[in-house]
A and B are shown apart, each in its own frame.
Chain A
Amino acid sequence: MKRFALSLLAMLPASLLAAGQTIIIRNATVLTVTKGTFQGSVLIRDGKIVEAGEKVLVPDGARVIEAAGQYVMPGIIDCHSHIAADSINEGAVAVSSMVGIEDVINPDDPDIYRALAGGVTTANILHGSANPIGGKCQVMKMRWGKDAQGLIFEGAMPGIKFALGENPKRSGNAGGGFGGSPGLRYPATRMGVEDVIREAFNQARAYQKEWRDYQAKLDRHEQAIPPRRDLKLEPLVEVLEGKRYVHAHCYRADEILMLLRVADDYGFKIRTLQHVLEGYKVANEIAAHGAGASTFSDWWAYKAEAFDAIPYNAALLVRKGVLVSVNSDSAELMRHLNTEAAKAMKYGGLNETEALSLVTINPAKQLGIENRVGSIEPGKDADITIFDKHPLSNYAKVEKVFIDGELYFDRRKDLEERPGRELRKKALIDKQKALEKKDRKKPEATDDKKSEEPGGDR
């Protein structure tokens, strides 16, 4: 958990309160999500919520956060994001399970801070949707200022991304490849998408057997060298063994059913269906399989497969017994997941608690981290967002965000520090302008001159 020097974050405030402190957030409207709403306080110690109630005693030496008139809720969890990573898609091959977000975490991404400012404390960072079987995912906390390892949500179940529908088959169609790839990449149809997935698990089974045979040999005290490690198939074996969650990007009802059946055939569960914009058409089947659904609040008509998307999707799936979350898939939308959740009240009539669950306890459950985050309950991580108005209001602003009991975002501090940041930047700009001037004055045969000569240009 090494910290970078504060100079890295000179433009954005670093964490403001040390971990291990006792903090009480007082006199607010507390929306626990799972245990009702009340006027009261939340007590935090050593990064955990210790108590939440109408009458909480203030221990000596506790740092008091006055939150009268404000609204306290669990930190928002975004189940589908692509921030904080230096690459998103390995699209050249149909199965790219060997790659992983964990190798390219970018702790310097300003979108982490911006997500914090929107109340997000945890995000599931996914590989893109260019492949039927994509790369490994990473659950992260928005601990702005920490290094790559410091962002990782320790103990979260590893995940992998699948993608169905138009995106993974685009590279199989002429003129359709991402960035104009020269050759065609199988698959070009939804049939091919299924084939690629089945074939991959076929290979994974064979690989799994190789290792079991090897282990058997060892058990019999026979001489053996281990099989060649295949980094592509290892995560798939983990899926077969229930040790890695599958998050599958999908749109159309038929492809959703296809995937559920493939999973059934190979004996594993799809953990979440992502986007799942036609999920409402097969809600019963999704509920029966036990897959969660993580969807947009109301995007539609931007692709053919999104033409039947409806903003009632989330509410309808909830009514049919599916565990539903609303996600962003966008660094911008991530900043207002609270109002995106409100859309499920407008379209489909979810109540307040159901709506808030869509961005808190539900995604926590989908990611298997509900014992740690997703609601305000004693024993959970102190990941808390404070709004100045009810979070489901479009006028609400985030005031403060705690992660593990550390204050990672404070709007007031952010505002106070702006003049200072501007000055520091201006000082750098002036300094460099002065250096440039000095260099120009020097009568050296500089590179600039040379580059104007023929053959001297880059």
Chain B
Amino acid sequence: MKHVTPILLAAASLALAQAPGPIALRGARIVTVSGPVLEKGTVLLRNGLIEAVGEHVDLPKDAWVVDAQGVTVYPGLIDALSTVGLPETPAQPAAPRAEAPATARFGGNEPAMPLEQGPEFRPFTTTWVRAADLLNPADKRIEETRSAGFSSVVTFPATGIFAGEGAFLNLSGEKQGRMVVVSPAGQYVTLTTHGFGTYPGSLMGVIAYIRQVSFDADHYKLELQAYASHPAGQKRPNYDRAVEGLLESPRLLLPAEDAKQLDRMIRFAAELKRPAVLYGGHEAYKIADRVAKSGVPLLVSLKWPEKPKDGDPDQEESYRTLELRDRAPSSPAALEKAGAHFAFYSGGTAAKDVRKALKRAVDAGLTEAAAVRALTLSAAEIYGVADRVGSIEPGKIANLLVVKGSLFDEKAKIESIFIDGIKYEPVPESGPPPGERAGRGAPGGVE
């Protein structure tokens, strides 16, 4: 323990109530998620990991015991799609960048032809940008998100068609390196168009473009393999940064807000033969069975559709719009019933409003157990880190949420959050909610 003291002193200003040695929370109601709920149990944490959990746990002599009667312990919540931790302005410009210069066909006097169509043309594409490389541990939103009960977020760059590679982060907010649990976690894809002036300017164009890049990636692999096996006498393949970024992404995140888009993207992912995760999901209640059958995981946004704040009050809203607003919160329940694999993300909802949004889903039929799972283990499974986080099991990272009561009781306060075994207390709110900061679209927002 000798080396702990200097570390302690260094970290004194950053963490609160950090006890040296193991910590035990005793007598709490424990929602392990991976197993049955323990009405009265104990969790033992050591070295940032969960050492033991159960109704009766033998506590080591040096354990710091916290009386946890009357509280419920959950795995730390995971926001499955976020931009928390990244700087406000995008690190990369979103404008299209031609990788190849324009070649005038007959001499240089004519106006440069618009750059297009060459296979190296990759507009709005920054597949190689890694959220893990851009982390700003001082991002105020980290603290706000943590205070709302989240121990982890999966953060992605958000601008462009291929926006970049995300990272599964613990919200410890100290050192960048320490925050990353896994990177890359996936490739964030949007179907945003940029008007008529530049390709792709339409939804059709964006889809065709993504398809082409995916095929290019397949071909690139073949090319590299062929060259590597026998370089002599062969023309060497061009280095394609965008394709490299795509190839190293373990999964694609594809937008799918309404039913037809869900249908489209399920089909698209199968066509591209790449692992995919859909995000949005507000009309999943209409095709929950199809989603379940496809096996494609779905991240459901907790930012339920609202009436636009500055709409024309005399303009009649369509039945479709009204129905979506009414039924969207029932999508998680429908997904649960169908046996689909889904998790939640904030989608621009302020961290502090997440519980209210969650309650709407529960009121619409989602079971509490499924609700918790969608905020914890399911997210971990979707990102392939269920072996190390997302539930309260021995060996897993010590990410816990301690609530004075039930997570589903709006009046129940969050007592503390443990991240990597370090205890944090929620900070009271101040300033405008993070989801509404000017100029920054939240990821996975409504199209």
**Quick check: B200 and A92 within 8 Å, CB to CB?**
yes
- Asked, given contacts A179-B195, A181-B196, whether A93 binds B211 with beta carbons under 8 Å apart, the answer is no
Q: Which residues of B contact A130 (CB under 8 A)?
A: 196
A371 at the interface (CB under 8 A from B): no
Q: How far is A228 from B267 in the complex, measured between Cα atoms in Å?
A: 23
| Interface mask (B363-390 → A, CB under 8 Å = 1, otherwise 0) | 0000000000000000000000000000
Residue ID in chain B nearest A134 by CB atoms: B204
A50 at the interface (CB under 8 A from B): no
A288 at the interface (CB under 8 A from B): no
Q: Which residues of B contact A226 (CB under 8 A)?
A: 219, 222
B8 at the interface (CB under 8 A from A): no
Task: Give min CB distance, A101 to chain B, whole Å.
Answer: 7
- Asked, given contacts A103-B207, A447-B433, whether A177 binds B196 with beta carbons under 8 Å apart, the answer is yes
**Quick check: B196 and A230 within 8 Å, CB to CB?**
no
- Asked, given contacts A104-B207, A231-B212, whether A90 binds B201 with beta carbons under 8 Å apart, the answer is yes
B241 at the interface (CB under 8 A from A): no
- Asked, given contacts A184-B114, A429-B322, whether A228 binds B432 with beta carbons under 8 Å apart, the answer is no
Q: Which residues of B contact A92 (CB under 8 A)?
A: 116, 196-201, 205
**Quick check: B208 and A99 within 8 Å, CB to CB?**
yes
Q: Which residues of A contact B195 (CB under 8 A)?
A: 179, 181
**Quick check: B307 and A432 within 8 Å, CB to CB?**
yes
Q: Which residues of A contact B211 (CB under 8 A)?
A: 98, 231
Q: How far is A447 from B285 in the complex, measured between Cα atoms in Å?
A: 27
* Stretch of B45-53, B63-71, B134-142, B258-266 that contacts chain A: B258-266
- Asked, given contacts A181-B196, A181-B197, whether A228 binds B219 with beta carbons under 8 Å apart, the answer is yes
**Quick check: B260 and A148 within 8 Å, CB to CB?**
yes
Task: Give min CB distance, B189 to chain A, whole Å.
Answer: 14
- Asked, given contacts A4-B287, A229-B219, whether A425 binds B212 with beta carbons under 8 Å apart, the answer is no
**Quick check: A104 and B204 within 8 Å, CB to CB?**
yes
**Quick check: B197 and A177 within 8 Å, CB to CB?**
yes
- Asked, given contacts A104-B204, A228-B119, whether A432 binds B263 with beta carbons under 8 Å apart, the answer is no
B290 at the interface (CB under 8 A from A): yes
- Asked, given contacts A93-B199, A450-B433, A458-B436, whether A148 binds B264 with beta carbons under 8 Å apart, the answer is yes
| Interface mask (B204-236 → A, CB under 8 Å = 1, otherwise 0) | 110111011001100100110010000000000
Q: Which residues of B contact A225 (CB under 8 A)?
A: 219, 222-223, 226
Q: How far is A397 from B287 in the complex, measured between Cα atoms in Å?
A: 35
Task: Give min CB distance, A29 to chain B, whole Å.
Answer: 37
- Asked, given contacts A92-B196, A450-B433, A456-B436, whether A7 binds B286 with beta carbons under 8 Å apart, the answer is yes
What is the interface size of chain B, counting residues whose CB is below 8 A from a CB of the partner?
55
Residue ID in chain B nearest A445 by CB atoms: B429
A87 at the interface (CB under 8 A from B): yes
What is the interface size of chain A, counting residues whose CB is below 8 A from a CB of the partner?
70
Chain A residues numbered 225-251 whose CB sits less than 8 Å from any CB in chain B: 225-226, 228-232
Q: How far is A183 from B197 in the complex, measured between Cα atoms in Å?
A: 7
| Interface mask (B323-350 → A, CB under 8 Å = 1, otherwise 0) | 1011100000000000000000000001
**Quick check: B117 and A93 within 8 Å, CB to CB?**
yes
Q: How far is A225 from B224 in the complex, measured between Cα atoms in Å?
A: 11
Q: Which residues of B contact A101 (CB under 8 A)?
A: 204
Task: Give min CB distance, B284 to chain A, whole Å.
Answer: 11
Q: How far is A147 from B258 in the complex, measured between Cα atoms in Å?
A: 12
B94 at the interface (CB under 8 A from A): no
Q: How far is A338 from B326 in the complex, measured between Cα atoms in Å?
A: 40
Partner of A90 from B202, B223, B260 at Cβ < 8 Å: B202
- Asked, given contacts A4-B259, A7-B286, whether A425 binds B202 with beta carbons under 8 Å apart, the answer is no
A37 at the interface (CB under 8 A from B): no
A419 at the interface (CB under 8 A from B): no
**Quick check: B204 and A90 within 8 Å, CB to CB?**
yes
Q: Which residues of A contact B320 (CB under 8 A)?
A: 11, 108
**Quick check: A428 and B208 within 8 Å, CB to CB?**
no
B309 at the interface (CB under 8 A from A): yes
Residue ID in chain A nearest B199 by CB atoms: A92
Q: Which residues of B contact A107 (CB under 8 A)?
A: 260
Q: How far is A222 from B245 in the complex, measured between Cα atoms in Å?
A: 32
Partner of A453 from B204, B222, B432 at Cβ < 8 Å: B432
Task: Give min CB distance, B383 to chain A, whole Å.
Answer: 28
**Quick check: A10 and B319 within 8 Å, CB to CB?**
yes
Task: Give min CB distance, A420 to chain B, whole Å.
Answer: 12
B427 at the interface (CB under 8 A from A): no
**Quick check: A229 and B215 within 8 Å, CB to CB?**
yes
A415 at the interface (CB under 8 A from B): no
Known pairs A7-B323, A135-B204, A431-B326. 13 more at Cβ < 8 A? A5-B286, A8-B259, A87-B204, A93-B114, A98-B209, A99-B208, A104-B207, A130-B196, A148-B263, A179-B196, A180-B197, A183-B198, A432-B322
Interface residues of B (CB under 8 A from A): 111, 113-114, 116-117, 119, 193, 195-205, 207-209, 211-212, 215-216, 219, 222-223, 226, 258-260, 263-264, 267-268, 285-287, 290, 307, 309, 317, 319-320, 322-323, 325-327, 350, 432-433, 436, 438
Q: List 26 A-B contacts (CB under 8 A).
A: A4-B287, A5-B285, A7-B286, A10-B323, A86-B203, A86-B204, A86-B260, A90-B199, A90-B204, A90-B208, A91-B201, A92-B200, A99-B207, A104-B207, A106-B260, A225-B219, A226-B219, A228-B215, A229-B219, A231-B215, A421-B319, A428-B323, A432-B307, A448-B309, A450-B433, A456-B436
Interface residues of A (CB under 8 A from B): 2, 4-5, 7-8, 10-11, 86-96, 98-101, 103-108, 127, 130, 135, 147-149, 171, 177-186, 223, 225-226, 228-232, 421, 424-425, 428-429, 431-432, 436, 447-448, 450-451, 453, 455-458
